[in-house]
Every structure is written in C-alpha cells, then in structure tokens.
Amino acid sequence: MNAKTILVVEDEASIAEVVSLYLKRAGYQVQLAPDGKQAMSILERQMPDFVILDLMLPEVDGLSLTRWLRDRSNVPIIMLTARREEIDRIAGLEMGADDYVVKPFSPQELVSRVRAVMRRLGREQPEAESDRSLKFEGLTIDARSRVVVANDSPVELTAKEFDMLYLLAAHPKQVFTREQLLERIWGGAQYIDPGTVTVHVRRLREKIEADPSHPARLLTVWGVGYKFEP
C-alpha cells in the first residue's frame, strides 16, 4: 500500500514541524506549505490524499482556501483553529471541512483524527463498493452518480442523506444505532447533535417513502436504531 500524502498548511514553523514529525511517524508522507498561496500552487500541481490547514494564514486565509479547495476536490480537510475562532470554525465546517482540532492540541490527537477521517471516508467509499448500484423494487441508488430514483422519480438528497441511505441500503436488515450512524456518516464528531440522525432519517423518509408516516424502507427499531428493509 502506498503511503498517503498529507499537505500541512501552517505558518507557525514549530507547529508545522511537530505535526509533520508525528504524521511521518504514523506512516504518512508530508508536504508543508507556510501560507495559503503556496498551498494553492501545490494543490494545483497535485492533489494530496489529505489536507490539514490552519485557519489563520498569511496571504490566503484558511476559510478561503477551504472554499477554493471544495470547488475542486473532495479531499478530506481537517482545520486547525484557535479557541476564539469558533465562528470561523463553524463556517469552515459548513464550507466542507471534515473535522477540526482546537489549538493547543496534542499531535497524537491530530494523528488520531486524521486516521478517523480516513477510516470513515474509506469505509464510506471503498473502491469496489463505490461503484455498486443498489436496486430494490421502486428504489434505485446509484453510487457513482449519487442519483436516487424512488417510485420512478429522481430524488434530490443532500450528501449526508445520500451517505446514510447508501450505508443502510448496502446492509439490508442490519440495525444501525444512532451512535454508529453518527460515527460512520459524521465521523463521530462531537459537535454533531445525536438528534441530527433522527432529522436525516425523517427527511429521507419524506423523500423516498410512498407514505412517510408509515415507512416501508427505513424502519425504526425501537430503542436500538434504524434498518433498511429491502
């Protein structure tokens, strides 16, 4: 297996250095960029497997860089933020960062988060499975185009709704707890309210069920979680 490459965008040399050291020890290849502009020129040449970026950067700040990056790629992003940057952090997540780590952090903690995000994305889109279309009576889920057709009409799903439906439908009759769904779809991120799962299930039912109040596909297993009925 080839070592994954991680681009670390951080203007504080001491932090960049220690992060780089820990990532290398964990078996990753590391590229460093001290500001947003240099990060962009690296990213334009070759997309790494993962990006860790500081929010407060010279030249091009972390938020703009996240937005720029998301226009081009689904590469996983972890933001490094200071406590006072909470507003920016939320903006960053909305812009598509996958997770954040608040400074000061332990480098080991950062490595664990990187692994967790990689694992989550790897599980969500394994090579063989990502091409797999799931077909049921009155419901087709195409993983490649991320198009869902329910009762002969195409349905628009958000990214998370699609991921959740795909996960459940790829494992028919298997019960997933809310915690498992949070972990698999949101990476178990602590800022996510467990009620989010309930909300997503409800929206999915409204979109794919013939009668959302009497679901035939996405079933609640009381006291446990949810399962997909094929």
Binding site for Ca ion (CB under 5 A): 11, 54, 56
Mention every residue, 6+ apart, whose C-beta is less than 8 A from residue 77.
50, 51, 52, 53, 66, 69, 96, 97, 98
Q: Which residue, chain included where needed, has tokens 């998370």? A: 160
The minimum distance between CB 143 and Ca ion, in angstroms, equals: 38
For Ca ion, the closer CB: 36 or 48: 36
For Ca ion, the closer CB: 63 or 208: 63
Beta bridge mates, 127: none
The minimum distance between CB 11 and Ca ion, in angstroms, equals: 5
Q: Are 68 and 42 in contact (CB under 8 A)?
A: no
Tokens of 71: 């226009």
The minimum distance between CB 34 and Ca ion, in angstroms, equals: 10
The minimum distance between CB 79 and Ca ion, in angstroms, equals: 11
Residue nearest to Ca ion (CB): 56
The minimum distance between CB 87 and Ca ion, in angstroms, equals: 16
For Ca ion, the closer CB: 66 or 169: 66
Give 108-170 as a DSSP string.
Answer: HHHHHHHHHHHHHHHHHS-HHHHT-EEEETTEEEETTTTEEEETTEEE---HHHHHHHHHHHH
For Ca ion, the closer CB: 6 or 33: 33
Whole-number Cα distances in Å, 230 to 1, 18, 122, 219: 35, 49, 24, 11
Whole-number Cα distances in Å, 152 to 112, 148, 195, 203, 219: 43, 10, 30, 19, 21
Q: Which amino acid is at 139?
A: L
For Ca ion, the closer CB: 54 or 161: 54
For Ca ion, the closer CB: 56 or 219: 56
The minimum distance between CB 51 and Ca ion, in angstroms, equals: 15
